[in-house]
Amino acid sequence: MDNRPSERIPEPDEERMPPPAAAPASASASTRDAEGVRPGANPPPQRRRIDFVLEGGGVKGIALAGAISAIHNQLEQRKEYGDQFTLEGSRAAGTSAGAAIAALLVAGYTPAEIRRIIAGPEIARLVDTTWLSRIPVIGKPLDITVGLLTELGAYRGDYFLQYLQGLLLDKGISTFKDIIVKGRERETNPLLRYRAHFVASDITRGTVLVLPGDIDAERYGVEPDDLEVALAVRMSMSVPFFFRPVRLRGTNGVNSYIVDGGLLSNFPVEVFDELHWAAASRVSRTAVAYLCLAAACAHELSSEAPSPLDEPQPVVTERYIGMGPHRLLPNWADWCEAAHSECKDRRRITGFYTGGRANGGYDLICIAAGADVHEVTPEDLSAADAVLEGTDINRVHWVNAAEAAQKMCMSMGRLAGRFTGRQFRNKYELVCLGLNVQRFNIDRSEVGDLRTLAWDEAGQMADELCRARGSGSGFFSGRRLNATYELICLP
């Protein structure tokens, strides 16, 4: 038998068809794509990462593990159709049980391994007790009562912490320094720097924490890079009165009690909304897609859509009644930070208090769209001729801070801006506003000397002046033009 491959016999029409013309050697670069593929050839498929937002909810952790496994199976099947989505290098945000799944996913555990861990016998030991529980008959209720009265929680949560530490160490992960996004080692924005973000609640300050970005040594005694990943998960799933809260002591001597993130943000999709805006200035295109299955939501960020910094968005504002800061004798920066936090809790970008009172609360303006958040250094401000009086924003006069924020945002091509009152590691958080912002020059004789006014007096005045001009609200930019002050009015 002749084992040589048989020669293919051409079809009759094919015999008469002339061979395809060769592409000319002088083909210009414009006829090739970014990968150098010849015209007419199929370009290699682009691998696109899927990011996850994982909801809290106790036993939902089992459903989350199954959902991720199902998504993984679907992606494997769709490879036959040329789709190139991947879980490799995924980022994840999670609350409570979702934080635990997110940590395992980012650590490199496969969906099948995560399912085995969640359904394994070790999970049943999460309810850890002390020696008191071994006392016959009264031991268990006594242990729970003592825990609630002395440590504010029935169970210690130490076993879970040690178990998760071991799982992560098996993958070479201890602190957030070990899960920095590849190529982002010098990144200063925590949303872009780390692959995992966990949501917890600071009941001492009454605010939501997105870990590790909202951690600093002054308030919590540890910097983001040095925070243990397992401890951050333990914070996120500290169900009040069930698990004992995690206590952190800052260099300022204040103890902070951290509990379950589900109290304030059980489905932290806003983390990736912020990531979208934070990354906007560094990518040419951003496409956002959601894939929901069971209790998991996958969030994909590719690299090509018009950047919000290149194309400013219209500003959208909403008015609420706010709670105000929790500190005694707060200054203007404390009020700014409290407004920013309250609006973030409402899933808005930022906001500010007008200085007025309303129905037992404080008049709060939240900005839902048209703002982008930046971290700026004193060097950035100096380059924009927007120098602050010192390095502590809490000690700066509000007029000086307002003027510096306005100059900094204008140097970035924006119409207006404000500091949020947050500062960390010698950086200030700045919000810049884009389209449909109106600017007016108000005669000094009409408002007096702003430097002699408290921030809330000036805020109420600005709010009234803007509303009289048909706008929603506004603020003074701090800029003085001859005998006038600049007023910023928002829709």
Catalytic site residues? 96, 260
Spell out the residues 6+ positions from residue 377 whose beta carbon is closer than 8 angstroms to its own.
426, 427, 428
